[in-house]
Amino acid sequence: MGKLDFAFFNLINRDKKGLFYQKGFLDRLSPFIFYPRIKNLIQLAPIHCQGCHIVLPLGAGNLQLLEPSKQQIMFQRSCGVARDFNLQAMAVNRSLKDLNLETQGNLPLIYGDEFIKALAYTIIKHSLSRRQISKIVLVGEMPGWADFVLEVSNLQVPVSIQSHCPSRYEIMIYRLMYEKGNVVSNSQINPHKWEKGNLVIIFDSQYHQLSIAIPDVMLIKLTNESQGLSTELETRLQSSQIDPLLCNLAPIMETCLLQQAGFWRPGSEQDIVKGQKIMFQSLADWGHRTAIWDLFLDKVA
């Protein structure tokens, strides 16, 4: 099979039906019958990476029926496949985050949060260099949101954070405005107030279907369901029988970029995370150095 750069963990797209897949049967028999398997290889020639697609032959609903201890048994076997190839992390379909999968030992699970923030940050800087952007509107939230919002607000363009629960960001907004002097606002999502010259980036899947008819509003969707962001990479996923969606592409890309940047070399984690730049910025810089963002920015243009 040769050297692998990453492993990608997934479930089948649909739950299996029938009496055998009821909770009682699954709890008793799944540890003995359902084993993860390498479905195929994933060739990402544009970024010079090769990985394997590890699939557990159950749907998300089937897995949730299992007792937590049985879920972990099934998942740990999948992690064991990645360890067999001496991989230092495993990419996981973002849509499985709510399952709260855990690993034993030191195998990090990569869901692609840092890659999505790096891509969003790159898109914002790219757009500011080529357009008259009057405001940046960020819809939704991500882990590590405060660091991301700080760096975006440092770009000297007004930023509007719009979410389900604006109150949770009041302290962050206060510090950005009164301690940093940045222009940041906070509100419920309100597309009716988006205006000409706004750059709107949607992170929340709830608003993936949102469309607007406001002239000269630049709308970018970076939700689990997003596709069409990089035709070349998405075509490679599709040829490996993986849905060409951001929920699959983001964790794979983040794992590959971290591996290429030497993140798992001894001491490198400290250099990247505790150094001058936080994780998504380091990924953004690495993407520029390796021209990876060229695979995405043509769509933005």
More confident residue, 103 or 189: 189
- The pLDDT value recorded for residue 276 is 47
* Residue 47: φ, ψ to 5°: -115, 10
Q: Is pLDDT of 266 > 70?
A: no
Q: Is pLDDT of 18 > 90?
A: no
**Looking at 200-204, 218-222, 278-282, which range is the least confident one?**
278-282
pTM: 0.92
Domain locations in the chain as residue ranges = 6-110, 112-301
Query: CA-CA distance, 233 to 202, in Å (whole number)?
Result: 21
Give me the amino acid identity at 279: M
**Pairing, β 135-139 against β 109-110:** unpaired
**Can you state the angle between helices 145-153 and 170-178, rounded to 10 degrees?**
30
Query: CA-CA distance, 163 to 142, in Å (whole number)?
Result: 11
**Residue with the two structure tokens 């998942």:** 75
How do the residues of the chain divide into helix, strand and coil, expressed in percent and rounded to 5?
45, 15, 35
State the Rg of the chain over Cα. 20
CATH class of 112-301: alpha beta
Tell me the average pLDDT across 208-232: 91
Query: CA-CA distance, 98 to 250, in Å (whole number)?
Result: 17
- The pLDDT value recorded for residue 47 is 95
Using 50, 70 and 90 to split pLDDT, how confident is the model at 56? very high
pLDDT tens-digit readout, 108-156: 999 999 999 999 999 999 999 998 999 999 999 888 899 999 999 999 9
Structure tokens at 257: 């970029």
Using 50, 70 and 90 to split pLDDT, how confident is the model at 267? low
Query: DSSP label at 20?
Result: G
**Pairing, β 159-163 against β 184-188:** parallel
Tell me the average pLDDT across 84-100: 91
- The pLDDT value recorded for residue 121 is 97
Query: DSSP label at 206?
Result: G
* Residue 113: φ, ψ to 5°: -60, -45
- The pLDDT value recorded for residue 274 is 45
